[in-house]
Structure formats: structure tokens, C-alpha cells
Structure 1
Amino acid sequence: MWERVYRKVKGPRVEFVGVALKDTEAASREFVKTYGLTFPNGYDDGERVARAYAFVYQPYYVFINRDAKIASAFRGTLSEQELTARVQALTR
């Protein structure tokens, strides 16, 4: 689902970044490979990113606006339509 939305909305003003938490680096790489993710993905060794953005739940979405400020955050599952709408709202 993430890859489909990414391909639909990607452009100069949109970027997706995946961050794996509470998993091994190998499992993170396998997840990326299994789901064919082409957007940047990383492994949060030591959970530094999780602490910086104060998230403890997965999935967790952080939407950053064109001013590099957090516009909104969402904890939990988003449908493909909801994720698309949230991203598109930021690019208007």
C-alpha cells in the first residue's frame, strides 16, 4: 500500500521515508525487499528517531510540511485513500 501511494503522489514536494523500529536490520531489509519499497528506508538502531519524534507505536505517520515543520502525526493504520488524502492536502 505504501509503495502504491508513493508512486501516485511522489514528486519534487513529496518524499516518503520508512523507519524500522523494534526489529533487526536484516528483518528491515527483508521487509523492504518483500514489499518492493523504492522510497528511502532505514533502520533505527537504538531508536533515536523514535525518541526524536516521540513515537512508540507502529505504524506511526509524521507529515512534514514545505516549511520542514510537523504538520500532523497519526498513530495507527491508515487506508490507502486516507494516506493519499493526507499527503495531497500538504501539497496544495
Structure 2
Amino acid sequence: MSEYIEIETEISDDDSTLTVYTNLRLNEGEVEQYHSYDELEEGSPVAQALAVIEGIVYLQIQAGDLTVRRDPDTPWHIIVSDISAALKDFFL
């Protein structure tokens, strides 16, 4: 594993999804999809680590990337900050 974590984010033009690009291996390449908090809680270790983040209503994990949809009442900057912190806590 790398000694540092790179995280880049991109919000879709219509503000509906966030894509998080990392230099991490988040899973073995198969797509994981979670449509609720309960699914996140029962998911892979990375999904469980992200389940604590309020506002995530959908999460897709594939290789080193995350795709996130949010509750419209939760600002993206809070979700980005929380995802960054959760990944750092999980991997470091």
C-alpha cells in the first residue's frame, strides 16, 4: 500500500453525483452497489467504514473509485470531507 492517499473528487454537472478517485484498492474490481444505510452496514469493510457518513443515499465502489449520491439537504463539501477522513482512518 502507498504511504499516502490521493483523493480527487468531481461533482456531476447536474449536481446529482460525486465521483471520488483514489490511488487505493477499495475492492477487487467487482462493482459493489449500496442503496441504503442498512445495505452499507452489511456491505464490504470499506462500505461499512463509509456507512457512518450522514447524507449518503447511494454508494458504488469499483476498484479505486466511489460514486456517491446524497440527500439533497447534505452539502457536498461535508460528504467529501467525511469520505476523506473515513478513508484515511480505514487505510492508515
More helix by share: 1
TM range (shorter): 0.3 to 0.5
TM-score by length of 1: 0.32
Larger radius of gyration: 1
